[in-house]
Amino acid sequence: GNHKATRSENSQGKKSQHAEEAIFYMNCRAAYLTVLKSSLENIKSKEQLSLVLQQAGRNPSQKTINRYWTSQTSSLNFDDFCAILKKEKPATKNELLEAFGKIDTDKAGYIAHDELCKILTTRGDKMTWEEVTSIIKQADFNCNGKLDYNKFCELYLSTREQCCRAARARLEMHPRLRQQHLGNQPEAVPEGITLPVSKASPGLSRKTDHKLPKGDSRAPSRPSSAQSSKASSSTTVTVGASSSSRNTELIIEPDTMKEWQRAQSRGCFYLEENGEIISHKYRLHLAQRSALSITIKPFSIPQAQGKSCHWLSVDTALFILKENETQENLQLVSFTELQNKEVFGWRGELGSGVYWLLPFTTGCRLRKAKTQITGEAKLVWRDEDGELALTKEFRAALLDIFETIDLDGNGLLSLEEYNFFELRTSGEKCDQEAWAVCKENFEMKKNELTRQGFLDLNLMEANDQDGDPWDLWVTLLSLGYNRALEMTEACPFVIDICAERCKPRIKAMSLEGGGSQLSRALCSSVVNKGEAQVLDGSENIFIHTCRSGSRITSVIENKSENKVIIHVNNEQSKNCLNNRGLTVFAVEVAPKSMMVSQHVMALNEQEEWIYSCVHSLV
C-alpha cells in the first residue's frame, strides 16, 4: 500500500512539474512571437533581446543584456531565450520594495522627486531627465513632489502581468503558432497536458566556416520526453574507482627537468549568470625549438587552507594552438590529456614561435549552486571611534582574491593584472592617470599595488558608500563568491611551463569565453583521439567518444547536407554527472558540422562509474 501511495505521489509530482514547464514554455513562446515572426527566427541584436525580455515580464539592465550578448554573439535562438528566462527571474514586489527601501532610509513610503531624479540619472543604467520627468508626471503614484513607491510597484506589477496576458492571448488566437513541434515527430506529453513546444532553431550562432565545428549547443529548453527514433548508437564505458589518472609517470617531474627553464601564470575560470564559463587566455612565446612540459591544475590559495575549497575538485585542461599568419588562424597542436590526481599535463616538443594556451573546464563541477545561503556575511564594521574597518572574514576573502588576480605570483599587482580584476568586476579599465592617483593614496612597490594597498583600496570604496556594502558585494559576486564569502562559482588555476632549451614567456592576453577557437580545438581533439561509431541506419552521422583522464567527452559529427536532431539518453549511466545537468535531452547539429554532445565525469570518484549513453536520430 505504501509503495502504491509513493508511486501515486511521484506520478502526481511529475504531472505537476510538466504542467509548470508547459506554462513556462507557453509564456516563453508568447513573448518571443510578440517580437519575432517565428520561433525559427533568431534574435539579431541587443535591442531585440531587450524587447523580447520585456515582453516576457523582465526589465533587463544594460549589464544584464551585455552578459548574454557579448562581443562574440551574432544571434540568439529561441532555446537561448528560454535559458535566459530561467536565469532572469522577474522581480517580486518584496524585492522592488526592498530596493526602494534602501533609498527611503526614513521608511516613510515616499521618495522626494529631487532624490529620485538624482539617483536615476547618476546610477546604474542612467536615465535621461526626460525619461525621469515622464515617470514623476504620472498622477497614479505621485503627490506633492513625492513618489509613493508602494503604488508605483503595484502599477508596475499589474502592467507587467497585462503585457504577458496580451502576449498569451495573441498566441491562443493563432493555432498555427501553437502547433509547431521539434523535428519530424511531435513529442509525447503526459495525459491531459497540452505542451507548447517549438521547433528548435540553430544553436548559438557564430560567424564560422560551415566545415568547422560549432560551439557547444545547449540542450533545447523544453521538457524531455520519449522520442521517436530513426537510428541510434549506444556507448558504454566502465571506469573503476579512483582509476581516472592515466600515464601519471609522465607528469611527475624527472630529475633531468630540474635544470629546465620555467614560467608560471595564474588565472581563473568564472561562471557567468547564463552558465557560460570564461577564463584568461594566454600567449606563449618560444625563442627556439625545445622539449616542454606544460601542466594546469586548480590553484590552492595559501590563505584558503583549512577552508572549504569547492574549486579544487574542478577539472581543468589546456589546449595548445600554434599561431600562423594571424591570430584567427590557429592550428591545434595538442592538449593536456595526461593526469595525475588534480594535475593535467602534456609533454612534447614545440618549434620556435607563438602559441596560444586556452584553458578549459567541462562545467561538470563548476556550475550554479543550488543551495540557498540563509545568512549574509558582514563585510565592514565601525570601531569605537566610528571609523569603518573591514571584517576579519572580508579581509581574508580579499587576500584570497589578491592571490588569484596576482597572475605572475610576485606578491604585487601590476596595472595589467589589476585591469583584469577591474574588467571582471566593473567592466572598465584603469588608465595610467588613475593608476598614478592610486600610487599617491595606496601602498605600492615598483609601481605595483601591495596586498595592504589592495585592502585599503576596498576600504576606501566602503567609505565612499558610507559603509553600504552594495558595491562590495557586486565585486564579490562577480568573482564567484556567495553571500557566505565562499568561492563557489569560480576556479582559480595555475599553469606551469618547463622548457629545456629556452626561457618560455607566457602572458595573459584576455578574459573571455572560449569561443569558436576553443570549440574547434575541443571537437578536433575528441575526433583525433576518440573512438567513432556510426549511427545505425544513418551513414552520415558519427558519435565520437573520448576518455581523457577523469572525463569522457562525446562529439556528434553530421556529414549530411541537412540539420539533424539527436536525442541523448543517459538513464543507464551510474554514478555520473554531465555538464548539461540533464539525464535526457536533445541537441540540433547543423549540416556539415560537429558539436559537443556532453562531458561526463564521476559523481563520486571513490566508486566505480558507468557511462552508458544512447544517441538516437529523431
Tell me the domain boundaries of the chain. Answer: 5-90, 93-174, 232-243+530-617, 262-368+495-508, 380-488
List the CATH code of the domain at 93-174: 1.10.238.10
Q: 163: number of CA atoms within 13 Å, CB side?
A: 20
Can you name the CATH fold of 262-368+495-508? Answer: Jelly Rolls (2.60.120)
The DSSP element (H or E) to which 434 belongs, if any, is helix 432-441
Greatest C-alpha distance within the chain: 82
> pLDDT: is 602 or 114 the higher one?
602
pLDDT (mean) for 568-581 = 92
The answer to whether 321 and 517 have CB atoms below 8 angstroms apart is: yes
Average the pLDDT over 118-137 and give the result.
79
When comparing pLDDT for 163 and 266, which is higher? 266
Place of cell 558519435: 543
Q: What contacts 356, CB < 8 A, 6 or more positions away?
A: 281, 282, 283, 284, 320, 321, 322, 323, 327, 330, 517
CB atoms within 10 A of CB 271: 20
pLDDT at 13: 61
**Which band of pLDDT confidence, cut at 50, 70 and 90, is reported for residue 205?**
very low
Q: Mean pLDDT throughout 21-47?
A: 82
> How confident is the model at residue 303, as a pLDDT?
55
Range with top average pLDDT, 118-132, 196-210, 264-278 = 264-278
Residue 596's pLDDT band, with cuts at 50, 70 and 90, is very high
Reply yes or no on whether the pLDDT at 319 is more than 90: yes
**178 vs 499 pLDDT, higher one:** 499
Cβ-proximal residues to 459 (8 Å cutoff; 6+ apart), any chain: 380, 388, 389, 390
Q: Does residue 208 carry a pLDDT above 50? A: no
Pairing mode, if any, of strands 343-350 and 531-534?
unpaired
**Does the pLDDT at position 325 exceed 80?**
no
Decide if 593 contacts 538 (C-beta within 8 A): no
Question: pLDDT at position 254, please?
Answer: 63
Q: What is the pLDDT of residues 472-531, one digit of tens each?
A: 999 999 999 999 999 999 999 999 999 999 999 999 999 998 888 999 999 999 999 999
Query: With contact defined as beta carbons under 8 Å apart, do 115 and 179 qualify?
Result: no
Contact 605, 534 (CB under 8 A): no
Grid coordinates 521618495 are at which residue?
Answer: 111
Residue 214 has pLDDT above 70, yes or no: no
The answer to which of 8-22, 128-142, 191-205, 353-367 has the lowest mean pLDDT is 191-205
The stretch 390-399 carries a mean pLDDT of 95
At what angle are helices 113-122 and 129-136 packed, to 10 degrees? 150
Instruction: Give the pTM.
Output: 0.65
The reply to whether 380-488 shares the fold of 93-174 is yes
Give yes or no for a contact between 578 and 502, defined as CB atoms under 8 angstroms apart.
Answer: no
pLDDT higher than threshold 80 for residue 38:
no
At 161 the pLDDT is: 84
What per-residue confidence (pLDDT) applies to 304? 52
Identify the CATH homologous superfamily for domain 380-488. Answer: EF-hand (1.10.238.10)
| Residue 248 grid cell | 601519471
Question: 232-243+530-617 architecture in CATH?
Answer: Sandwich (2.60)
Q: What is the mean pLDDT of the segment spanning 293-313? A: 80
For the cut 60, the answer to whether the pLDDT of residue 315 exceeds it is yes
For residues 437-447, one letter each, b for 16 or more C-beta atoms within 10 angstroms of the residue's C-beta and e for the rest, the string is: ebeeebebeee
pLDDT band at 41 (very low <50, low <70, confident <90, very high): confident
365-382 average pLDDT score: 85
Lowest-confidence segment of 179-188, 317-326, 425-434 by average pLDDT: 179-188
Asked whether residue 218 carries a pLDDT value surpassing 60, the answer given is no
Residue 29: which H helix or E strand, with range?
Answer: helix 2-35
Percent of the chain with pLDDT over 90: 45
pLDDT at 191: 29
Q: What is the pLDDT of residue 183?
A: 28
Confidence of residue 184 (pLDDT cuts 50, 70, 90): very low
Residue 519 burial (CB < 10 Å; 0-12/13-18/19+)? buried
DSSP SS3 for 542: strand
pLDDT of residue 242: 66
**Can you name the residues that pair with 348 across neighbouring β-strands?**
292
Q: Which three cell numbers stand for residue 448?
A: 605595483
The band of 585, judged by pLDDT with boundaries at 50, 70 and 90, is confident
CA distance linking residue 488 with residue 406, whole number of Å: 20
**Is the pLDDT at 138 greater than 60, yes or no?**
yes
The mean per-residue pLDDT over the stretch 245-254 comes to 54
